[in-house]
């Protein structure tokens, strides 16, 4: 290419600009001054395995983006104050006109009724939160059941569990901010939980509320924790989570060409980056659709919280459900000895049990090592069936949490199915013990059974052609595999020239083409 000749035609100009056009020229300009081409190339060639279950964590990442954007919008209108004020008489919602409410509650209903897009943003924020925690749980389940937490990734597992705890905490804090009847009930329960902690309980409660419940400062305090401290910690830990992921490289399922020493998948550019961007828009779209079409937390219908008021059928958001459920099914065991009250009916379900759950979750990589004595590096994932005990334990554990989650709506179930509330409660108490105990062996034996048919996985069933011979004997012959299902050697597809040109091949020697997919060495 002759850069010296003055380009005349359009074509000449295009050629003069190089293979990447003006973008490439700009990058060139930057590279000459900042020298980021090498790092950028490594970044663009970064290989990401393509399995769909590896994208579940991205749902969490992108719903967190939604939370940040909508949350910033909400802070522009929300007033974190418990000072009382009078709702204007021209407020659009009639039953609150002239009512005495807190500024926090008024600013919430005001942004719902009077601010353009305010309600949409509020609802998107709430839905995104529900999806955020759900996607963390689903992602965590994927990591757990495939053994992705094993050496060398124990630290990232710890970061992940911490992120889940922070997400749940921040969800609760945000739920508490509007100062409506339902959120106030939640804060009241949180206060009871604090009080139930032995020895320090009353001090903790006084510290949080600046005195006795409800006080006049808790909304301000929850607000600053909700919008600054916890999101800051989440952002930092998300950075660490992704940094560790890049540093340690992604795991992959065993398969053709996949070994412990390589990563098979798509490069960041031009494949993965567009896939993940599309997925970002899918998550945004899902949150926006839910926020626009499905009503969530209509606080104007609940009214201002007063400590004397209570509504029946009040539940926390779904991710706190297992705690609420255990509070419900726990028998009223309270002991009064030596002048002290030990309210075990609150301490156990709300303090001890979540402590056990999250400690087991945190310590799981080491707990499993105690059983397997496996100290090896693992970059290839397990199929859940191949590790039946872990899978069975995980299913039993999730089954227990699911039963407790269901138990948080005992009243709604009783009302919906027209059965006695007492019956539902006792049923839930029984199921808490029975379901996990049944789930473990059932899962275990399903895993063992599935191990037998492993090689057919992912292939469509082949039809059997039944033939009768002249002697009257019947023979079943499997028909030919359907197109695409048979074992076939793939032709090596050349990697597009705009990814590998001569200059780069020298630098990235480990990038080789094998069976049509890009392979990077670890």
Question: For residues 397-456, which are near other proteins according to CB under 8 A?
Answer: 409-412, 414-415, 419-422, 424
Helix axes 118-145, 56-75, angle to 10 degrees: 150
Residue 457 vs 503, nearer CB to other proteins? 457
**Is residue 191 within the footprint of other proteins (CB under 8 A)?**
no
Q: Is the dihedral of CA 428, 430, 434, 436 positive or negative?
A: positive
For the segment 120-149, give every residue that binds other proteins (CB under 8 A).
123, 126-127, 130-131, 134-135, 138
Q: Element (H or E) spanning 202, and its range? A: helix 201-209
Q: Find the binder of other proteins among 97, 151, 261, 522 (CB under 8 A).
A: 97
Q: Taking CB under 8 A as the rule, which mask of x and - marks residues 71-90 in contact with other proteins?
A: ---------------xx---
Rounded least distance, CB 371 to other proteins, Å: 30
- Give the residue, chosen from 121, 159, 283, 428, that forms a contact with other proteins under the rule CB under 8 A: 283
Of 366 and 416, nearer to other proteins (C-beta) is: 416
Q: Are 49 and 251 in contact (CB under 8 A)?
A: yes
Rounded to a whole number of angstroms, the minimum distance from the CB of residue 181 to other proteins is 6
248 binds other proteins (CB under 8 A): no
State the minimum distance, in angstroms, from the CB of residue 347 to other proteins: 24
CA distance linking residue 417 with residue 411, whole number of Å = 10
Per-residue binder mask for other proteins (CB under 8 A), 202-231, x = binder = ------------------------------
Does position 58 bind other proteins by CB under 8 A? Answer: yes
Candidates 287, 314, 326, 308; CA nearest to 129 is: 287
d(CA 361, CA 154): 11
Compute the least distance from the CB of residue 403 to other proteins, in Å: 15
Binding residue (CB under 8 A) for other proteins from 310, 352, 456, 467: 310
HEC sequence for 364-428: HHHHHHHHHCCCCCCCECCCHHHCHHHHHHHHHHHHHHHHHHHHCCHHHHHHHHCCCHHHHHHHH
CA distances to 96, 103, 106, 417 from 86, in Å = 9, 9, 9, 42
Q: CA-CA distance, 194 to 189, in Å (whole number)?
A: 9
| Candidate list 45, 46, 47, 55; residue touching other proteins; CB under 8 A | 55
**Which CB sits closer to other proteins, 320 or 439?**
320
User: Binder to other proteins among 331, 339, 453, 458 (CB under 8 A)?
Assistant: 458
Which of 94, 373 has the CB closer to other proteins?
94
Does residue 169 interact with other proteins by CB under 8 A? Answer: no
Angstrom distance (rounded) from CA 177 to CA 447:
45
How far is the C-alpha of 511 from the C-alpha of 520, rounded, in Å?
Answer: 6
As beta bridge partners, residue 341 has: 336
Choose, by CB under 8 A, the member of 315, 358, 363, 401 that binds other proteins: 315
Torsion of CA 204, 206, 207, 209, to 10 degrees: 120
Q: Applying CB under 8 A, which part among 34-42, 64-72, 278-286, 431-439 lies near other proteins?
A: 278-286
Verify binding: residue 41, other proteins, rule CB under 8 A. Answer: no
Beta-carbon contacts of 38 under 8 Å, excluding residues fewer than 6 positions away, are 507
Q: Which is nearer to other proteins, 36 or 423 (CB)?
A: 423
- Nearest approach in angstroms of CB 66 to other proteins is 11
* CB-nearer residue toward other proteins: 54 or 440: 54
Find out whether 204 and 194 touch, Cβ atoms under 8 Å. yes
Please report how many Cα atoms fall inside a 13 Å half-sphere around the Cα of residue 163, on the Cβ side.
Answer: 27
Contact between 64 and other proteins by CB under 8 A: the answer reads no
Total residues at interface with other proteins (CB under 8 A): 78
**C-beta of residue 424 within 8 angstroms of C-beta of residue 410:** yes
Query: Nearer to other proteins by C-beta: 38 or 459?
Result: 459
Interface pick for other proteins out of 9, 278, 474, 496 (rule CB under 8 A): 278
């Amino acid at each position: 290419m002759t850069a010296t000749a003055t380009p005349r035609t359009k074509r000449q100009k295009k050629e003069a600009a190089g293979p990447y056009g003006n973008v490439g020229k700009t990058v060139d300009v930057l590279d000459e001054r900042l020298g980021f081409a090498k790092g950028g190339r490594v970044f663009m060639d970064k290989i990401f395995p393509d399995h769909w279950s590896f994208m579940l964590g991205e749902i969490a990442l992108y719903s967190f983006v939604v939370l940040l954007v909508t949350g910033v919008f909400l802070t522009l209108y929300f007033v974190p104050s418990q000072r009382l004020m009078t709702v204007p008489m021209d407020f659009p919602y009639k039953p609150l006109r002239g009512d005495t409410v807190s500024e926090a509650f008024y600013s919430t209903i005001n942004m719902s009724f009077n601010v353009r897009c305010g309600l949409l943003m509020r609802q998107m924020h709430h839905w995104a939160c529900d999806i955020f925690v759900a996607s963390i749980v689903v992602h965590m389940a994927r990591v757990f059941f495939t053994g992705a937490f094993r050496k060398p990734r124990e630290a990232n597992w710890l970061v992940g569990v911490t992120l889940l705890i922070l997400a749940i905490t921040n969800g609760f804090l945000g739920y508490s901010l509007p100062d409506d009847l339902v959120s106030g009930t939640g804060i009241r329960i949180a206060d009871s939980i604090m009080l139930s902690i032995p020895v320090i309980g009353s001090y903790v409660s006084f510290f949080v509320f600046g005195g006795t419940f409800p006080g006049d400062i808790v909304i301000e305090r929850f607000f600053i924790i909700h919008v600054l401290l916890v999101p800051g910690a989440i952002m930092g830990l998300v950075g660490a989570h992704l940094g560790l992921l890049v540093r340690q490289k992604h795991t992959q399922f065993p398969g053709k060409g996949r070994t412990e020493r390589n990563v098979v998948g798509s490069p960041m550019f031009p494949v993965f980056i567009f896939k993940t961007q599309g997925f970002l828009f899918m998550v945004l779209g899902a949150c926006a659709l839910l926020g626009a079409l499905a009503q969530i937390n209509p606080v104007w219908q609940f009214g201002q919280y007063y400590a004397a008021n209570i509504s029946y059928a009040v539940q926390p958001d779904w991710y706190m459900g297992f705690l609420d459920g255990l509070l419900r099914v726990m028998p009223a065991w309270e002991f009064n000895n030596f002048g002290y009250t030990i309210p075990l009916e609150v301490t156990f379900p709300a303090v001890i049990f979540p402590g056990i759950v999250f400690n087991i979750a945190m310590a799981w990589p080491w707990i499993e090592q105690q059983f397997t004595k496996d100290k090896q590096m693992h970059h290839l994932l397990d199929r859940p069936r191949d590790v039946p005990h872990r899978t069975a334990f995980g299913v039993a554990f999730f089954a227990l949490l699911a039963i407790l989650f269901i138990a948080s709506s005992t009243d709604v179930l009783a009302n919906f199915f027209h059965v006695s509330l007492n019956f539902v409660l006792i049923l839930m108490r029984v199921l808490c013990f029975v379901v996990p105990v049944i789930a473990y062996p059932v899962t275990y034996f399903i895993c063992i059974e599935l191990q037998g048919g492993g090689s057919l996985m992912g292939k469509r069933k082949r039809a059997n052609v039944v033939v009768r011979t002249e002697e009257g004997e019947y023979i079943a012959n499997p028909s030919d595999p359907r197109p695409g299902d048979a074992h076939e050697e793939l032709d090596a597809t050349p990697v597009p020239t705009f990814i590998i040109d001569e200059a780069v091949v020298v630098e990235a020697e480990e990038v080789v083409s094998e069976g049509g997919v890009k392979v990077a060495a670890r």
